[in-house]
Amino acid sequence: MNRRTFLKLASLSSVSFAAGCSPESPKHLYSLVQAPDNMVTGKATWYASTCRECPAGCGVIARNRESRAVKLEGNPLHPLNRGKLCMRGQAALQAVYHPDRLRSPLLREKDGFTPIGFEQARALLKEKAWAAARKGPDRVRLLTETVGESQTALFQTALRNWNSRPPLVYEPYAYEALKTANREVFGVDGLVSYRMDRADVLLSFGAEFLETWLSPVEYAWKFKAMHAAAGTHKGLFFLVGPLQTLTGANADYWLGCAPGSEAVVALGLVRRMLDLHRGRHLAPALRQALLQATDGHSQETVLKLSGIPLDGYERLVGRLAEAKLPLVLGCGSGLSDENGLRTNLAANLLNLVLDPELKLIDTARRHRVETAGRRVEVLELFKTIAAGGADLLLLNNVNPVFSLPPENGAASALDRPDLFVVSLTSFLDETAQRADLILPVKLPLETWDDYCGWSDVVSMIQPAMGALSQAPHLGDLFLEAGFEGEPPAPDFKAYLARRLQTQGRIRDELEWLRALQQGGVFPPTGPTIAGAAPLSLAQQLPAALATPYSPPSAAGLAFAAVPSVRLFDGRGANKPWLCEIPDPISRVAWQSPVRMHPDTAGARGLQSADIVTVRSHGGSLEAPVFVTEVVRPGLLVMETGQGHGAYGRYAEKVGANPFALLSAATHPGCGGPSSLLAEVTLESTGRRLKLANTDGSRTQHGRAFILTTTPAELLKGGPPAKTGLTMDNFPLTLPLPEGYDPKRDFYPPHDHDHYRWGMAVDLDRCIGCGACAAACYAENNIGIVGETRITQGREMAWLEIVRYHDERRMQRVMFMPMLCQHCDNAPCESVCPVYAPHHSAEGLNNQIYNRCIGTRFCSQNCPYKVRRFNWFDWEWPEPLNLQLNPDVTVRSKGVMEKCSFCIQRIKEARTRAKNENRPIREGEVLPACVQTCPTDALVFGNLMDKDSRVRRLCDDPRAYQAMGYLNTKPAVIYLKKVLHEV
Amino acid sequence: MPGDACIMGLFKDEAKAARVIPELAAAGFSFRRAHSPIPSHRILEALKLKKGRVGWFTLAGGIVGFFLGFALAIFTAVQWNLIVSGKPIVSLIPFFIVGFEFTILFSVFGNVIGLLVCSRLPDYRGLESYDPRCSGEHFGVLASCEAGREGELMDFFQKKGAEVKVFA
Amino acid sequence: MTNLTFAQIDQTVLNTLERPRPRYWLFVALMLCGVLLGAAAWTYQIFTGIGVGGQNIPVAWGTYLINFVFWVGIAHSGTLISAILHLFRAGWRNPIARAAETMTVFAVCCAGLFPFIHLGRVWQVYYMLPIPTQRLLWPNFLSPLMFDVVAISTYLTVSSLFWYTGLVPDLAVVRDRSTGLRYKIFRVLSLGWTGTHHQWLNYSRGYLFFAALATPLVISVHSVVSWDFALALVPGWHTTIFAPYFVAGAIHSGLAMVLTLMIPLRRIFRYEAIITLNVLENVAKTMVLTGLIVGLAYGTEYFIAWYSHNAVEWESFRWRALGEYAYGLYFMIICNVLLPSLFLFKKVRRSIPWLFALSLVVNFGMWWERFVIIVGGVAHDFAPHAWGFYAPRLVEYCVMVGSFSLFFFLFLLFCKHLPSVSMTEMKETAHHAG
């Protein structure tokens, strides 16, 4: 939807929010004689809110149909995510409609939990709290997820009333090292934001900013702003680290260093830059200090310790030295150990050396997750509790039992008999299981709140749908329980409004409404105050830099747990979409394989799908092997998120939990944990597991699916190469009459009726994040088939991110969104005996479900293999079915289906255009995948309109069609990926 | 003629049976029909019969089928008028297959009908003046004569070395 | 050929129609169970979804289509023997023509079932028939599958009529040698055939036209079946030689099945005097020819794949020989080309055990040929990211057992209740010989 319609609808909706929305779906259908004035049956209304799937806080708009939120999209007005949303954001809906969502509070009794009424539960909470408060100071403790300022304020007041200290924010990934480094170098004890979009050279030591690091959607668009090929120019992205995650896979150069040796490289680079006279503007004293500190980091030592090849290192040094606006990012979220801290310190210093004004570092615009407590504080809390230091523990939607290494004894602390644990969650996860009272509260899509992903924005959270349960709003709960006398406000909505007013964020009712309409109060876009120069950097450098690096024993295997782009720290694991969409690197769904380099596997006679046992001092787990070149030899890598013992039908007993291996130790310097283990043992169980992978071959055998080019080639330009009929020289043949040539085509061209829909896919912009795939699942009611069926090759994804390794350099990974190509000469059409697939007047390759009899010939004859067959009737356990898009048929068993270019959206746009009797505007139709793509890699439009963006992209020298030489004349035009010469 | 007696001579030898046929007329008897376990060229030659007319039915069927096949394919394609795989709505080359198969099918229908019509099957009346041995190893020649000449006819057959069967 | 008298011929054949022994009914019952098993499996599949089979994306066609092609292939030699050899006046076809035609009819029935079993929504199958509806929904006659519908149904009709026409004079013979109920039945079935010169005149004429029409038909049918694949663009399918290749293969497998059926039949029904060793030997000789043609086709495919310089095509054939399904390729080469060429040796040709064994081997090999083509092609086609594998599942095996049971069930019933050798044609042979 475009901005205007959004505003129209939003204003319509938010005036009288979710009123008239009923909890249950009606058994009988009655015509609405008096419909609520904001609800027109069959017409969607949109509510602006904020995504709370991770601490980033992207703005969303929820599509509401007959009081049910059926789709989430990024809020186009929100400065942080600019209308885009990631995979996890898309899947937030499935939490609301989750079949295992708790409908009523549960109270622990001798024989397990018994459901009780909400009134009783709220009373119990209040009673317990005040009882504890009377006992003395700090008898009530609150461990919460990251929440907005208003909620925090309320927490604090309530806890103060209970005569206890402020809440502690628990995030498994709390960026302790980064915060410390920022404090030491920038004098900012928090998480600054980066103006990555303006950088020309980007160097990361492992920060997975396209997946989970700080604010993935924001950094995705910023990254492509600097890294997408603009004409012949393209920014550079170096990765130094022992492994590639999705972010690493987008690096132009991966310098694989020994696990734990990033700091050495970073400091080595500081030294080289100083030697190369970058940062001569620094205070001489500081320069001296730096030179001293980096004395031991001559190029030789660096190369020796890190194992980086010389040529790669020199290229990095060269490009960095001549960069105009370079930006250096530290290491990954999980690394807050010695190495992590030193790397982040060195990275910050490197930024300082390279650009003394720190133009790309915005210390004023801060990421909200900075409020998260350090791991050491969290452990302290559990120690206190274990020692009987509290009577009441409130847990707000956190799952430490799952995400803390078992040694930390979180579980045992909770089990303490004299402690009353209240878990404010809607799902029975590992932590809730140990609570005495589980009190479900409304989920973000149903509640009132605000959030500030950036410290300078207020992002509103408002109910986007009818209530599915009687659960209270979190705020109301605390207003009720936290005040003996008259609470400061009748309900949290009022509290919120008042607070925003006192804060001066809004002035009056009107601004409140505007805030609700637009999704928040946003600063004028553009940078805030320029990055402050380092304030407090004392002339002597942080002590951490002094400590020398000791390489781990060569023999041992290292183990790294990395946050998953799909499941994050595990909170995504109960959402079927996220489990079903395969991991971008391994293309394995549902399972949690342990990645290792072919050499590592070969040396132990292992191959993919062998089940191995990984043992550490902390614990052990079993997982299937996945062999890949994007990990350094001697390192095992697992993604976090799977391996739940509870947390609902979709998460339970799926995969393994790498947190269980990690060590409980925290770093004295920054008080953070480490997700890297220097020493684990690996043994084969002799068993094998059929991997639920959706890919066939990992390389494309020289076929014309993903094509690449180089800036040099683009620069050359020149006349188009001689065309022929082979895979390599077949010309671009548009799915339009001009695309036909008697020399190639046996049949005459055919015309279309005003529109010929087509899509352009810029492979250079695609980062492989899979947001499009998730959006497609959400929009088109695509069935979830589960692990076994995927192993049988029955996945249903209409749009999949194909992952290929570069045959010449296996460690280079490339991504390609593969969807129905809506060919002009579609091979699938003529083979169908009943015309179920056929060519529409607007060039779409229609698939008529009711007509399909399931011969499956179309799929056999599709060279792109994008057609999906309903082998069974798929299930949407209640109330998941409430999420189904009313505009899209739910397919029954025995019929073929595939991408329709979101034909329902095309039809909606056509109706609108018809009523206003005008043609459909450029950009008026946005298929779900196009709408959500964080990097704008997908462009949809009318190929018959010479000025449409998609048509203009067809003239780009990088334009080509996948396997075009089959002369199917696809309407999906790919743009070659631009690779910097290797 | 009514009242005429029908007498069948049953020969073990096809040649004899064939030779008898012309002689019957000479002897003033009228030949009715010949039964044989296998198609007998000698008998047909003796009767100087020209080829059957089955072929015409077959040909007619074939022609009908050919046009019917094309007509069906073209008519249905035009009814929906949907483009598939960028091919023209009416693509005669693929339709030829339909045309061809229909040609064969209807030729065969014509052939069967022709067969039944020409050889007047099914018809169970023939069984009344018929000797089962004729489907075994005997060639039967059925002849008739005016009342009173039965004896002569029998002798005639017996002389030729046939067993004789009389039908009332 | 044979020097039996008409009487002896009648006797030998009519003896086979004596009241069967209990053991026979046991076999019939056994086969019936097989049929029921298959039916049950199919029913289960209809209610649960086609997914109970092993098909997937990319390999959306499995054993159902393999068996379809297999049975259509079997169905070919019947018409070949009765029609083409009839035109060539090859006398040795007479003793086996009847059984072969019957085999054809039943095999087409089995084949015809599989497209139904294969469908995702078999209850909507009538969409494929040109039935006028008020929405004017018609089938798409551009689709190879519609070619199939037309060709297979034509073939079934024609071969059944051909079979029955050939049967009429023999039915008369049975009628004339029987009494009571059987007389009544055969009186009707034989349409009152009395073998008058007039009937024979038209009959031989009509039969000749039948043969003349069946010949192009039989060739067209398997060509059409081959176009189910050749008209797709899948590497390994999209080749022009498919039509002759499939026809030869079909005849190859058909002749093998003829031997598989004839050898026991000959033994049980004491047909030695009628179905002489020479007859079997001639079948074997023909199989050498068809085997070599098939072998040539295999070779040509590889040559073209290499000669075309088409990377995709070549990779597909490289994989066929070295990939996961390579064993299938070697099965088909050994069983369809190498082993049948043992028939070049007279000793082998004239040894019943060898004939029988090799006939089974070829049946096996031809099934695998279809596996290699149907599964192998798409499992490794254009899109490497979608490459995948296929293995049949229990339901498919049950259906397969069901189809074989159905075939033998029908054949068992036939050979005890209808003359399994054409007496009339045998008499002709004997007549012209003597």
Find out whether A946 and A676 touch, Cβ atoms under 8 Å.
no
Domain residue limits, chain A = 106-172+373-439, 176-371, 549-688, 708-824+839-844+899-978
Spatial distance between the Cα atoms of A814 and A765, rounded to a whole number of angstroms: 11
Instruction: Tell me if residue A633 falls in helix, strand or coil.
Output: coil
- Tell me how long chain A is: 982
Record: fold of A176-371? Dimethylsulfoxide Reductase; domain 2 (3.40.228)
Residue A643 has pLDDT above 50, yes or no: yes
Rounded to the nearest integer, the mean pLDDT of chain A is 90
| pLDDT at res. C83 | 86
| pLDDT at res. C89 | 82
Q: What is the 3-state secondary structure (H, E, C) of A558-600?
A: EEEEECECCCECCCCCCCHHHHHCCCCCCCECCCCCEEECHHH
Dump the DSSP string for C274-329.
Answer: TS-HHHHHHHHHHHHHHHHHHHHHHHHHHHHHHHTT-HHHHHHHHHHHHSTTHHHH
Looking at residue A727, its amino acid is: M
Q: What is the 3-state secondary structure (H, E, C) of A638-696?
A: EECCCCECCCCCCCECCCCCHHHHCCCCCCCCCCCCCCEEEEEEEEEEEEECCCCECCC
Angle between helices C277-307 and C94-118 (to 10 degrees): 40
* B81-120 residues touching A, CB cutoff 8 A: 82-88, 91
Q: Which long-range contacts (CB under 8 A, 24 or more apart) does A105-111 make?
A: A105/A437, A105/A438, A105/A439, A105/A440, A106/A428, A106/A437, A106/A438, A107/A436, A107/A437, A108/A435, A108/A436, A108/A437
| Cβ <8 Å between C385 and A835 | no
Spatial distance between the Cα atoms of A421 and A345, rounded to a whole number of angstroms: 39
Find out whether C297 and C245 touch, Cβ atoms under 8 Å.
yes
Shortest CA distance to A432 belongs to which of A475, A476, A402? A402
| pLDDT at res. A945 | 93
Find out whether A35 and A43 touch, Cβ atoms under 8 Å.
no
Confidence class for position A156, pLDDT limits 50, 70, 90: very high
Sheet architecture: strand order including B163-167: B30-35, B139-145, B5-11, B163-167
CB-nearest to A863 from C48, C118, C233 is C233
Distance from CA of C310 to the nearest CA of A (A): 8
Task: Write out pLDDT tens, residues C359-385.
Answer: 999 999 999 999 999 999 999 999 999
Spatial distance between the Cα atoms of A228 and A599, rounded to a whole number of angstroms: 34
CB-nearest to C120 from A695, A830, A853 is A853
Higher pLDDT among residues A798 and A528, named by residue: A798
Residue C84 has pLDDT above 90, yes or no: no
Q: Which chain B residue is nearest to residue C174, measuring alpha carbons?
A: B135
Which H/E stretch holds residue A115? strand A112-115
First to last CA, chain B: 14
> Could you report the predicted ipTM of this complex, rounded to two decimals?
0.93
Whether A542 and chain B come into contact, CB under 8 Å, resolves to no
Find out whether A205 and A266 touch, Cβ atoms under 8 Å.
yes
Tens-of-pLDDT digits for all 168 residues of chain B?
A: 556 778 888 988 888 888 888 888 888 888 888 999 988 888 888 888 877 788 999 999 999 999 999 999 999 999 888 899 989 999 999 999 999 999 999 999 999 999 999 888 888 888 888 888 888 888 988 888 887 788 888 888 888 888 888 886
Instruction: Tell me if residue A917 falls in helix, strand or coil.
Output: coil
Shortest CA distance to A944 belongs to which of A760, A757, A761? A757
Dump the DSSP string for C376-398.
Answer: HHHHTSS-GGG-------HHHHH
| Cβ <8 Å between A893 and C234 | no
Shortest CA distance to A843 belongs to which of A895, A763, A903? A903
Domain assignment of residue C45, yes or no: no
Domain assignment of residue C29, yes or no: no
Rounded to the nearest integer, the mean pLDDT of chain C is 92
| Cβ <8 Å between A826 and B88 | no
Dump the DSSP string for A281-347.
Answer: TS-HHHHHHHHHHTTT--HHHHHHHH---HHHHHHHHHHHHT-SSEEEE---TT--SHHHHHHHHHH
| Cβ <8 Å between A871 and C51 | yes
Instruction: Tell me if residue B48 falls in helix, strand or coil.
Output: coil
Q: Which residues lie below 8 Å from residue A38, measured CB to CB, with a gap of 6+? A: A12, A13, A15, A16, A19, A20, A45
- Domain range for B143 is 5-51+128-167
Residue A600 has pLDDT above 70, yes or no: yes
Spatial distance between the Cα atoms of A597 and C157, rounded to a whole number of angstroms: 63
CB-nearest to A829 from B80, B85, B91 is B85
| pLDDT at res. A20 | 42
Mean pLDDT of A569-595: 95
Q: Which residues lie below 8 Å from residue C220, measured CB to CB, with a gap of 6+? A: B97, B100, B101, B104, C151
Mark whether B103 and B66 lie in a shared domain: yes
| Residue A901 DSSP one-character state | S
Whether A833 and chain B come into contact, CB under 8 Å, resolves to no
| pLDDT at res. A255 | 94
Check if CATH label 3.30.70.20 holds for domain A708-824+839-844+899-978. yes
CB-nearest to C378 from A701, A860, A868 is A860
Whether B159 and chain A come into contact, CB under 8 Å, resolves to no
| Cβ <8 Å between A826 and B83 | no
User: Which chains have at least 3 CB atom pairs separated by less than 8 Å from chain A?
Assistant: B, C
Residue A51 has pLDDT above 90, yes or no: yes
Apex A166 CA angle, A162 and A167, nearest 5: 105
The residue among B108, B130, B141 with the most chain C CBs within 10 A of its CB, best to mutate, is B108
Find out whether A745 and A967 touch, Cβ atoms under 8 Å.
yes
Spatial distance between the Cα atoms of C414 and C164, rounded to a whole number of angstroms: 13
Mark whether B65 and B87 lie in a shared domain: yes
Residue A286 has pLDDT above 90, yes or no: no
For residue A774, give both structure tokens.
Answer: 């998730």
| Cβ <8 Å between C194 and B97 | no
The residue among B57, B135, B141 with the most chain C CBs within 10 A of its CB, best to mutate, is B135
Q: Find residue A804's DSSP bridge partners.
A: A814
Looking at residue A965, its amino acid is: Y
Which H/E stretch holds residue C423? helix C423-433
Phi, psi dihedrals of residue C408, rounded to the nearest 5°: -70, -30
Q: Looking at beta carbons, which residues of chain C come within 8 Å of A846?
A: none
Mean pLDDT of C143-170: 94
For residue C70, give both structure tokens.
Answer: 């297999």
Instruction: Tell me if residue A254 falls in helix, strand or coil.
Output: strand
The hierarchical CATH code for the domain A549-688 is: 2.40.40.20
Mean pLDDT of C194-218: 91
Shortest CA distance to A423 belongs to which of A441, A456, A396? A396
- Domain range for C184 is 55-129+140-391
Rg (CA), chain B: 26
* B15-34 residues touching A, CB cutoff 8 A: none
Domain total in chain C? 1
Domain assignment of residue C10, yes or no: no
Confidence class for position A29, pLDDT limits 50, 70, 90: low
Confidence class for position A25, pLDDT limits 50, 70, 90: low
Domain total in chain B? 2
Q: Is A189 exposed, middle or buried (0-12, 13-18, 19+ CB in 10 A)?
A: exposed
Q: Looking at beta carbons, which residues of chain C come within 8 Å of B52?
A: 201-202, 205-206
Confidence class for position A19, pLDDT limits 50, 70, 90: very low
Higher pLDDT among residues A160 and B42, named by residue: A160
* Distances, alpha carbon C98 to alpha carbons A724, C164, C275, C382, in Å: 56, 10, 12, 46
Confidence class for position A233, pLDDT limits 50, 70, 90: confident
Helices assigned H by DSSP within A388-502 = 400-403, 410-414, 474-481, 492-502
Task: Write out pLDDT tens, residues C99-153.
Answer: 999 999 999 999 999 999 999 999 999 999 998 887 778 999 999 999 999 999 9
For residue C127, give both structure tokens.
Answer: 């969409």
| pLDDT at res. C421 | 92
| pLDDT at res. C432 | 81
**What distance separates the 2 farthest-apart alpha carbons in chain B?**
84
| Cβ <8 Å between B121 and C158 | no
Whether C231 and chain A come into contact, CB under 8 Å, resolves to yes
Q: Looking at beta carbons, which residues of chain B come within 8 Å of A830?
A: 84-85, 87
What proportion of chain C, given as a percentage, has pLDDT over 70?
99
Shortest CA distance to A201 belongs to which of A318, A324, A314? A324
Helices assigned H by DSSP within A780-915 = 786-791, 827-830, 857-861, 903-915
- Tell me how long chain B is: 168
Phi, psi dihedrals of residue A402, rounded to the nearest 5°: -80, -45
Task: Write out pLDDT tens, residues A112-121.
Answer: 899 999 999 9
Residue A297 has pLDDT above 70, yes or no: yes
| Residue A763 DSSP one-character state | T
Residue that has been written with the tokens 């907005």 in this structure: A148
- A106-172+373-439: CATH class: alpha beta
Mark whether B60 and B115 lie in a shared domain: yes
- Tell me how long chain C is: 434
Domain assignment of residue C405, yes or no: no
Dump the DSSP string for B153-168.
Answer: HHHHHHHTT-EEEEE-
Torsion on CA atoms A759, A765, A768, A774, rounded to nearest 10? -50
Neighbours of A30 (CB within 10 A): 6
Mark whether B80 and B103 lie in a shared domain: yes
Task: Write out pLDDT tens, residues C259-307.
Answer: 999 999 999 998 988 888 999 999 999 999 999 999 999 999 999 999 9
Mark whether B34 and B60 lie in a shared domain: no
Q: Helices (H), strands (E): how many in chain B? A: 5, 4
CA A693 to chain centre: 20
- What CATH number is associated with residue C246? 1.20.1630.10
Q: Which residues lie below 8 Å from residue A927, measured CB to CB, with a gap of 6+? A: A759, A779, A901, A902, A905, A938, A940
Confidence class for position A16, pLDDT limits 50, 70, 90: very low
CB-nearest to B137 from C5, C140, C168 is C5
Q: Looking at beta carbons, which residues of chain A come within 8 Å of B87?
A: 747, 830
Task: Write out pLDDT tens, residues A942-967.
Answer: 999 999 999 999 999 999 999 999 99
